Amino acid sequence: MKKLVLGISLLVATTTFAQKDELKSLKKIYDKEQPSAEEFAKYKETLTKLEAVATTEDDKTASNFYKSMSPLVEMSTLGATPAPMQIAKILNPDAFTKMVDGMRSTLDYETKTGKQVFTSEINETIKSFRPIFTQMALTYNNAKKYKEASRVFYNSYRLDPKDVSYLENAGITALQASEFVDGEKYYREMKAVGFKGTGLGKFHSKEAEVLKTIAALASTNNNIEQAKIDFKEALALNPDDLQLEIDHANLYYRLNDIESYKKLITAVIAKDPNNAQLQYNVGFLALSDDEKLVEEINANLKNKAKYDELMTKRKAMFTTALPYFEKAHQLDAANEDTKTILRLTYETLGMKDKAASVK
């Protein structure tokens, strides 16, 4: 038993010394202003060894730090002024995301433990490389590679959360890339940060606009229950925005909640009676049961009493819709959809002369 314990103790000691040697080797190469390609190869090899033997949280954090800094060490092998294309090849969005993940987790760990081993180095790196990170994002943006630009902007914000322009630009470029899930995430983070900041902590976008965007994105992403809340919050800051009210109503139409839709859209029409499309929509909504009603009518052709009842019900439905279609036609006489439905409505109600007058 004593030999076994001694053997384990010896193994632990050997592993500890190995970790120290590897950490020394990594630090030595990392600290060089311009390591050679051979030294960078050794850096990667040593890092792989360290990852395999790191057992304590401190050693895992050290390994994580040196791994996250690998792209910067590789860039250092290119000389004092590497070409933009060389930087882009090494520090692509995926590599940049992994680098930020490592730097961020190291900072969080050292904040939690109070052990400031790499924090100063990371903060200095952020300060030194900030212009490069910004240029990366702008280069992608100028090339219309909005998805990549958005990722770089967002990861730059993670490194430097005091500068909220990174977060705002991440949101804007996510929308340009049609990355709506990420876009919703970024805009919600903007809302969480708040709009009372100054200087680098101040968004260019107004709170009212951000809340509108969040509501639209939640609806687009089928985040339905949250979207209902978001629209109410957005409308509180945009009470005169009719399009926002229409979008709010349309959310319920998509859910087949016709009563809520009708209530909301009717309120919009009261504010904007000269909107031809809205007039048409409300009229069309009044006919939402027509297909079902026609099927019932066809099924009761031999039952005169039931047939007459259903026909009366159908005419009442078209009578309700008629003024909306007439108003829509008055406002937009060239619209073919409106002309077609208005003609059908007149014919259903036995108003043949009026139907013929719709050209």
User: Rounded to whole angstroms, how far apart are CA atoms 122 and 103?
Assistant: 7
Q: Both tokens of residue 347?
A: 């014919």
User: Rounded to whole angstroms, how far apart are CA atoms 283 and 277?
Assistant: 10
Residue 254: band (very low, low, confident or very high) from pLDDT cuts 50, 70, 90: confident
Distances (CA, A) of 243 to 29, 104, 272, 275: 59, 41, 11, 11
Residue-wise pLDDT for 63-99, tens only, equals: 999 999 999 999 999 887 888 788 888 989 999 999 9
Residue 268 near residue 282, CB atoms below 8 Å: no
Residue-wise pLDDT for 140-156, tens only, equals: 999 999 999 999 999 99
Mean pLDDT, range 200-213, rounded to an integer: 96
Average pLDDT, the chain: 90
- HEC-encoded secondary structure of the chain: CHHHHHHHHHHHHHHHHHHHHHHHHHHHHHCCCCCCHHHHHHHHHHHHHHHHHCCCHHHHHHHHHHHHCHHHHHHHCCCCCCCHHHHHHHCCHHHHHHHHHHHHHHHHHHHHHCCCCCHHHHHHHHHHHHHHHHHHHHHHHHCCCHHHHHHHHHHHHHHCCCCCHHHHHHHHHHHHCCCHHHHHHHHHHHHHHCCCCCHHHCCCCCHHHHHHHHHHHHHHCCCHHHHHHHHHHHHHHCCCCHHHHHHHHHHHHHCCCHHHHHHHHHHHHHHCCCCHHHHHHHHHHHCCCHHHHHHHHHHCCCCHHHHHHHHHHHHHHHHHHHHHHHHHHHHCCCCHHHHHHHHHHHHHCCCHHHHHHCC
Q: Both tokens of residue 54?
A: 């790191």
Residue among 244, 243, 259, 241 nearest 214 (CA): 244
Residue among 195, 236, 201 nearest 215 (CA): 236
Residue 19: predicted pLDDT: 66
Residue-wise pLDDT for 289-338, tens only, equals: 899 999 999 999 999 999 999 999 999 999 999 999 999 999 999 999 99
Residue 183: band (very low, low, confident or very high) from pLDDT cuts 50, 70, 90: very high
Is the pLDDT score of 2 beyond 90?
Answer: no
Minimum mean pLDDT among 9-23, 50-64, 302-316: which range?
A: 9-23
Residue 16: band (very low, low, confident or very high) from pLDDT cuts 50, 70, 90: very low
Residue 4: band (very low, low, confident or very high) from pLDDT cuts 50, 70, 90: very low
Q: How many C-beta atoms surround the C-beta of residue 97 within 10 A?
A: 15
Q: Using a CB cutoff of 8 Å and minimum separation of 24, what contacts does 218-223 make?
A: 218/184, 219/247, 219/251, 219/254, 220/180, 221/180, 221/181, 221/184, 223/184
Which domains are assigned to the chain?
23-140 (no CATH), 273-359 (1.25.40)
53 vs 146, more confident: 146
294 vs 18, more confident: 294
Amino acid, res. 141? N
* Percentage of the chain lying above the pLDDT 90 cut: 78
Residue 137 near residue 157, CB atoms below 8 Å: no
